[in-house]
Amino acid sequence: MARMLLTHGTVVTMDAERRIIPDGAVLIEAGRIVRADRASAFDPNALGDVKVVDCSGKLILPGFIDAHAHAGHTMNRALGWDTRSFWMAYMEKIYHHHTTPGYWYAEGRLAALERLKAGITLGVSVLTNAQRADDPRIAVENSRGYGAVGNRQIVAVGPSNPPYPRGFHQYREGRWESVSLTFDEIMTKTEEAIELVNGTFDGRIQAFIAPFVLVGSVEPSGPTPADRAVKLTDLDRKMMRAVREIASRQKTRIHTEAFGGMIRLAKQSDDALLGPDVHLQHCKGISFDEALILAETGTHVTTTPAWGQYVTRCPVPELLGLGVNVAATTDGVAPGIPYDLIQAVRNLAMIQQGALNDFYYLPPGKMLSMITIDAARAVGREHDLGSIEPGKLADLITVDMRQPHLAPTHLPVHTLMLYGNAADVADVMVEGRWVMRGRQVLTVDEAEVLRDAAEESSAAIRRAGLEKLLKPSDTFWDYRNHVFEPRLP
């Protein structure tokens, strides 16, 4: 691979010194960063065989990292929005009983495409909204979709919540089969999926083991009061032990979701899913004692802005003050969240500032850190991703600042984080290879990806009998939705 010199851009390194280099340049060779410096420090004539790319008017940044989202959701945008109390049930019906391998390949391509065009060069994908590990083909086909588009993916696969056995429908050889799996069988399938996808596509695809939530015996999607989050069940302990064993055998990391009460409970186990090899999503409604546990164990936290954060927020500034690494995620994309990390971290900062009545928390520089180097730390990739430094992989993006909403650019990072959005990403490079130039994706036919996804999505919705969700509610244009029939389950 020939050398490449990206020159005359503003280089935002995100290195330890957080250098911003006006009229800067980045030298790349064999897919890795050789050096970042002022453009005047490089003589292209002295570099031999080098391709020079003019980045005038652009920021050059490390690729964004989205450390939590869900495979499947791009196929169901806004579906169930009008009756969100039942949204989880709607999605589980589709994902667990009415999807084919082709559905998961189409979703992988669509999700990878949206993330790529948002500057996300590495994204975590939890398999469905409530985890599905009964059929390893889902992980294989979804990762194959990412492999076709060209960005990186971490497939997060693991057990669903109890009760067990769990029932699913699988599509094989032209017919649907009903299956029911015990916890042990689910864990066997989980490990099989990890073995099948981890390290594929030249290492661009990884796999983490990821139970649906940290503690399955309490409230799964919100905080549990202290007088109910008292003691781990035998299945809780068995799950943590099994996850630890698979992570050790497969030499991989652990990811799961956590809410208030779970962290204190998890600490009761000798195999607690806490520590430097774990990142916990959400962490809403956690107590001060639980924040201290996260700090003491070196557990990473990732979190997403959502209306629920106004009631039970993740205490981001407090966690940062205790030394906990915290990254922002999209948790995309259904029922109403895009793969836009700039928007996500900006909204997260606004929620935290409002809750604490202090708009000095989470300034723009920290916001950018939370979707680059801090996110790289959360997924264990800070050694080779997340910043522009010699020896790191050349996963880079450019943002075209020559646009009315970004001009004039007196303060480049402030401007990007306060006014920018995903559509401002102009170019994307993964390991020194361009996969998008001038917002044109070079690896797949975008129109064909969109057509395939639309067909697969519509077919699954029909199979699930959820066509009723394809029309707005009767009070869609009113100031409040209050007529929901016939959209209820």
The DSSP symbol for 126 reads E
Is residue 170 assigned to a domain? yes
Q: What is the DSSP string of 271-315?
A: T-S-STTEEEEEEET--HHHHHHHHHHT-EEEE---GGGGTS---
* CA distance linking residue 336 with residue 343, whole number of Å: 13
- Averaged pLDDT of the chain: 96
In the predicted structure, residue 460 carries a pLDDT above the cut 80:
yes
345 and 397 inside one domain? no
* CA distance linking residue 286 with residue 55, whole number of Å: 44
Is residue 467 assigned to a domain? no
Is residue 165 assigned to a domain? yes
The residue segments making up the domain with residue 40 are: 3-62+389-441
**SS3 assignment, position 386:** coil
Report the pLDDT value the prediction gives residue 420, as an integer from 0 to 100.
Answer: 98
Chain length of the chain: 489
117: closest CA among 422, 419, 442? 422
Is residue 452 assigned to a domain? no
88 and 57 inside one domain? no
Q: Are 395 and 435 in contact (CB under 8 A)?
A: no
Any idea which residue has 């399938």 for tokens? 189
107 and 162 inside one domain? yes
Any idea which residue has 């015996």 for tokens? 217
Q: Are 327 and 120 in contact (CB under 8 A)?
A: no
Is residue 455 assigned to a domain? no
Domain count, the chain: 2
3-39, pLDDT tens digit by residue? 999 999 999 999 999 999 999 999 999 999 999 999 9
Report the pLDDT value the prediction gives residue 364, as an integer from 0 to 100.
Answer: 98
51 and 198 inside one domain? no
Last residue of a domain, one of 341, 358, 378: 378
Report the pLDDT value the prediction gives residue 311, as an integer from 0 to 100.
Answer: 87
Q: What is the DSSP string of 57-112?
A: TEEEEEPEEE---EETGGGGTTTTGGGGGGHHHHHHHHHHHS--HHHHHHHHHHHH
**SS3 assignment, position 3:** strand
Output 472 or 204, whichever has higher pLDDT: 204
* CA distance linking residue 145 with residue 2, whole number of Å: 28
140 and 167 inside one domain? yes
Enter the tokens of residue 412. Answer: 């480049």
Is residue 142 assigned to a domain? yes
Report the pLDDT value the prediction gives residue 488, as an integer from 0 to 100.
Answer: 67
- 37: CATH: 2.30.40.10
In the predicted structure, residue 474 carries a pLDDT above the cut 90:
no
Greatest alpha-carbon pair distance for the chain in Å reads 71
HSE of 367, CA atoms in CB hemisphere, 13 A: 28
Q: Are 453 and 110 in contact (CB under 8 A)?
A: yes
Ramachandran region of residue 79, left (φ > 0), alpha (ψ -120 to 50) or beta? beta
In the predicted structure, residue 374 carries a pLDDT above the cut 90:
yes
Give the mean model confidence (pLDDT) for residues 88-109: 97
Any idea which residue has 């202290």 for tokens? 226
Any idea which residue has 């989880």 for tokens? 88
Enter the tokens of residue 29. Answer: 């060779």
CA 425 to each of CA 346, 356, 428: distance values in angstroms, whole numbers, following the listed order: 16, 32, 8
336-356, pLDDT tens digit by residue? 999 999 999 999 999 999 999
Is residue 384 assigned to a domain? no
* CA distance linking residue 280 with residue 84, whole number of Å: 24
* CA distance linking residue 342 with residue 417, whole number of Å: 6
280: closest CA among 303, 251, 310, 306? 303
Give the mean model confidence (pLDDT) for residues 123-145: 97
- 107: CATH: 3.20.20.140
57 and 72 inside one domain? no
30 and 168 inside one domain? no
Report the pLDDT value the prediction gives residue 318, as an integer from 0 to 100.
Answer: 98
193 and 233 inside one domain? yes
Helix axes 412-419, 341-356, angle to 10 degrees: 90
**SS3 assignment, position 392:** coil
Q: Are 151 and 113 in contact (CB under 8 A)?
A: no
Q: Is the pTM of this model over 0.95?
A: yes
Report the pLDDT value the prediction gives residue 246, as an integer from 0 to 100.
Answer: 98
56 and 98 inside one domain? no
Q: Are 94 and 466 in contact (CB under 8 A)?
A: yes
302 and 353 inside one domain? yes
288-328, pLDDT tens digit by residue? 999 999 999 999 999 999 888 888 999 999 999 999 999 99
Is residue 463 assigned to a domain? no
In the predicted structure, residue 487 carries a pLDDT above the cut 70:
no
**SS3 assignment, position 218:** coil
Long-range Cβ contacts of 305-309 (<8 Å, 24+ apart): 305/344, 305/347, 305/348, 305/350, 305/351, 306/331, 306/337, 308/222, 308/284, 309/284, 309/348, 309/351, 309/355
In the predicted structure, residue 90 carries a pLDDT above the cut 70:
yes
* CA distance linking residue 2 with residue 333, whole number of Å: 37
54 and 11 inside one domain? yes
402-431, pLDDT tens digit by residue? 999 999 999 999 999 999 999 999 999 999
